[in-house]
Structures are given as C-alpha cells and as structure tokens.
C-alpha cells in the first residue's frame, strides 16, 4: 500500500537523491501522520470519555500529541528544503534534526501528563464502562498504528531521515501502549478487575522511555556525531587507490543534514615530485572522490622526504615505538632536522578516540620512548584524534 501511495502522491518518487523530492516525501509523510493520528485521537478520546477509562483517554491524548509531532515534521521538512543563503551557507537541512528533537520533547511532555492522570486514577479509582465495541476499536487502532509504523520506516529508509525514523519508533511504542490498554479492558470485561490506572501508568512509562531514547538519537547529529565506519573506510580506500598518494591522515567529516557532507583530509606525497603535478593529483581526487561519495572533499597536501635513508630509518623506529605505546596509533608528517650535537624530530601522532590514554600520558610515554632510542633526539610532537587510524607513510604506502 505504501508503494501505491508513494507512486501516486510523491512526484518524482524514484529520485530520492533530489532535495526537492526528499522534501515531498517528508511533507507527504507529515500529512498522512496528521490525518491518521487525528482520527485515532478523536475515536479514543470519545471512547475513553464514554467508558470513563483514563487509560483509553490517555492513549487518545498520546495520539493527539502524535498529530502535533507530524505537524512539526511537516514544517521541519518544509524549512529544511530552503536553499543556502548568506546567513546559512551550508543550507538548512539540520532543521530536520531540530524537528525530530522537538518531537522527542513533545513525547516526554505527554508522558509526564499521562503519568499524573494515571497516578490520580490509582489513588481515586472509578468504575469503567467497557464493551466489545471498545475492544474492537482498540484492535483496529493497533492495526492502523502498525501500518503507520511500517509506513514511516519505509519512507525513512528511502530518504535516510532520522526524524521519520524517530516517528516510526513512536508509532511502534504506541502499539505496545494500546496493547496494554486492551489487556486492561479485556480483564475488566472477564473478571471485573480494574487495572485502568495501573495500565495508564504503564503507558506513561513507555512513552517516557521512548521520549528519552529519541532525545538521545535526535540530538546526536546536532552535537556532531562521528561518521559511519563505512564512510570513513570508503574515503580512505578511494584516496589510497591513486598512485602518488603515500599516506592519508587527519580525516575530518562534518554533517549539515542528511545530504550535506563535508570532509577534509591530509594526503602525503613525495617531496621530490613537481608541486604542480602533486597539486593536480589532489585536485582530481577532490573532484572524483567527492562526487562519487556525495561529499564536498578538501585535501591538504603534505610533501614528505622519502629519499633520505637516515631520516627514513629513524621514522620507522619512531613508528614502531609509538605502536608499542598505542597499537592503533600512526605517525605522519615526520621531519628530522639534523644538527652536530642533536636532532629535532617533528611529527604528528594520530590516535583513535578509543584510546584510553590521555593526551598528556601519550606525550609523556612517546617522549620517553624517543629519548630511549637516542638521548640526542628532541621530539616535537602533535597528538591528533582520528575516527580510525589512517595509512601513514611508514606503513608500506603506495607509490614508494
């Protein structure tokens, strides 16, 4: 059914990489959410009022909040589709993350309100009037919510939307919440046991847990979460496939929305090569790799000396010593300034975020290791944090 609706309601539905098509998907999902949730809210609130059931009425209020969330999603996609301007040169796509965060806070607010009503019902229980019609209404509601969950998840996967994925999770939790209410209604019909207030509290707790999880998930992109390992590995592999690139390090990836990725990286090249030739190489990599991976790529070129046996030998010694301190660390941008009484060794060390040692501990241990190799060596060290260690020129690079 989702495929049928998409084909007839989303113009250019197969071009999900187009920002305008992506916005149409978001608007369509928001409209569907508003309509279905308003229908469920009206039916449940009327049923809960007639039956005197706080759990059914609370479930209806939950659906009403879902309608508000769908409106926020709808507006969010509309604003996220605005083109870049002078004040926002990277576009407005992060608004989608903000709309997802707003949905999360709405869910938390509803959870607190439902908990208050449920506690009041537990302290002041009142008889409920339920019937088979109530059972049928709740079952139909669960089936509609199941379709809604699958619908949102389908659209979220098509356009890679964290906001719609959060909405799909909310719909899934609504199924569990309504299921709990249904159990209470059936028990009341069969045994006259009134669990209305308790089940209402269970619904509220489920809503609160869902809201907390969604706050964490939707706030992470706004805080600047790390890119996926697949994207990082792909960037490294594509760049290192070019002859003339001796090492890659200091990769930084920024995200300004689902379709707005920016990356900077340092590439080591042979210092003997003509600078114009090396510059042409990195220019080609920026264009080709950036376009192929759908990112805006900027490369900083690091010329390194590869024809000095003495420097290369010390470079390898330092690299082995650093790996003894942190197995996943790599050494790059290595330079040696030889003097009559001592040598200045200038290099960077890239370590993953999983490294347990502090920056000061790393510096101290590496400095001790350098002096252990030769007391006349004076290290000048820069510690870089990296998603994963890149290939440094001391690790059998291409082109040597």
Of the listed ranges 123-132, 133-142, 351-360, the least confidently predicted one is 123-132
CATH of the domain at 248: 3.30.70.1350
Task: Tell whether 332 is covered by a domain.
Answer: yes
17 and 146 both lie in a single domain: yes
199 and 250 both lie in a single domain: no
316 and 297 both lie in a single domain: yes
What is the mean predicted confidence (pLDDT) over 51-71?
75
End position of a domain, from candidates 223, 240, 273: 223
Contact (CB, 8 A) for 280 and 316: no
SS3 266: strand
What is the residue whose two structure tokens read 């928001």?
30
End position of a domain, from candidates 223, 240, 259: 223
What's residue 391's pLDDT? 57
Question: Does the pLDDT of residue 395 top 60, yes or no?
Answer: no
Task: Tell whether 138 is covered by a domain.
Answer: yes
Task: Tell whether 400 is covered by a domain.
Answer: no
50 and 78 both lie in a single domain: yes
What's residue 345's pLDDT? 93
CA atoms of 155 and 165, how far apart (whole Å): 8
pLDDT category at 143 given cuts 50, 70, 90 is very high
pLDDT in tens, 316-349: 999 999 999 999 888 888 888 888 899 999 998 9
CA atoms of 163 and 376, how far apart (whole Å): 58
Q: Is 296 left (phi over 0), alpha (psi -120 to 50) or beta?
A: beta
What's residue 398's pLDDT? 46
83 and 201 both lie in a single domain: yes
Domain count, the chain: 2
Cα maximum dimension of the chain: 97
What's residue 400's pLDDT? 40
Task: Tell whether 399 is covered by a domain.
Answer: no
Task: Tell whether 258 is covered by a domain.
Answer: yes
**Nearest to 165, CA basis, from 35, 29, 39:** 29
293 and 198 both lie in a single domain: no
271 and 242 both lie in a single domain: yes
Count of residues making up the chain = 400
What is the mean predicted confidence (pLDDT) over 260-280?
90
What is the mean predicted confidence (pLDDT) over 123-140?
77
CA atoms of 310 and 335, how far apart (whole Å): 11
182 and 312 both lie in a single domain: no
pLDDT in tens, 176-231: 778 877 887 788 777 777 777 787 787 788 778 877 877 887 788 777 777 888 88
What is the mean predicted confidence (pLDDT) over 36-65?
80
40 and 187 both lie in a single domain: yes
287 and 215 both lie in a single domain: no
- Residue 150: both structure tokens together: 């699958």
What does pLDDT average to over the chain?
83
Task: Tell whether 393 is covered by a domain.
Answer: no
The more confident residue out of 141 and 62 is 141
End position of a domain, from candidates 190, 223, 256: 223
* Domain, as residue range, for 237: 229-386
What's residue 171's pLDDT? 85
Predicted structure pTM score = 0.61
CATH of the domain at 138: 1.20.1510.10
DSSP class of 274: -
Task: Tell whether 391 is covered by a domain.
Answer: no
SS3 356: coil
Task: Tell whether 15 is covered by a domain.
Answer: yes
Give the N- to C-terminal CA distance of the chain in Å, as an integer: 57
213 and 261 both lie in a single domain: no
Distances (CA, A) of 187 to 44, 130, 135, 141, 194: 19, 10, 11, 19, 8
């Amino acid at each position: 059914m989702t495929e049928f609706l998409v084909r007839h309601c989303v113009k250019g539905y197969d071009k999900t990489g187009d920002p305008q098509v992506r916005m149409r998907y978001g608007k369509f999902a928001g409209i569907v959410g508003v309509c279905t949730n308003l229908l469920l809210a009206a039916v449940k609130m009327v049923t809960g009022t007639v039956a005197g059931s706080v759990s059914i009425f609370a479930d209806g209020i939950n659906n009403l909040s879902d309608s508000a969330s769908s409106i926020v999603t709808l507006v969010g996609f509309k604003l996220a589709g605005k083109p870049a301007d002078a004040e926002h040169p990277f576009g407005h796509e992060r608004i989608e993350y903000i709309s997802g965060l707003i949905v999360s806070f709405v869910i938390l607010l509803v959870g607190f309100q439902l908990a208050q009503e449920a506690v009041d019902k537990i302290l002041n229980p009142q008889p409920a009037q339920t019937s088979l019609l109530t059972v049928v209404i709740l079952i139909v509601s669960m089936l509609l919510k199941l379709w809604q969950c699958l619908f949102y998840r389908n659209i979220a996967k098509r356009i890679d939307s964290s906001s719609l994925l959060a909405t799909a999770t909310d719909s899934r939790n609504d199924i569990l919440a309504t299921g709990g209410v249904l159990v209470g209604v059936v028990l009341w019909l069969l045994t006259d046991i009134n669990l209305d207030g308790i089940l209402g509290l269970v619904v509220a707790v489920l809503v609160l847990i869902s809201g907390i999880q969604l706050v964490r998930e939707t706030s992470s992109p706004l805080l600047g979460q790390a890119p996926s390992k697949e994207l990082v590995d792909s960037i490294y592999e594509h760049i290192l496939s070019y002859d003339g690139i001796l090492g890659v390090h200091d990769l930084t990836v920024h995200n300004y929305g689902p379709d707005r990725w920016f990356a900077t990286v340092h590439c080591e090249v042979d210092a003997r090569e003509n600078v114009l030739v090396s510059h042409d190489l990195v220019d080609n990599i920026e264009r080709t790799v950036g376009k192929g991976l759908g990112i805006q790529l900027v490369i900083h070129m690091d010329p390194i000396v590869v024809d000095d046996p003495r420097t290369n030998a010390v470079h390898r010694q330092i690299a082995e010593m650093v790996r003894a301190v942190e197995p996943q660390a790599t050494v790059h941008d290595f330079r040696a300034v030889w003097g009559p009484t001592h040598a200045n060794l200038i290099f960077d060390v890239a370590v993953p975020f999983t490294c347990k040692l502090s920056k000061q501990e790393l510096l101290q241990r590496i400095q001790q290791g350098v002096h252990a190799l030769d007391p006349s060596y004076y290290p000048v060290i820069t510690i870089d944090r990296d998603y994963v260690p890149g290939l440094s020129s001391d690790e059998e690079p291409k082109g040597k």
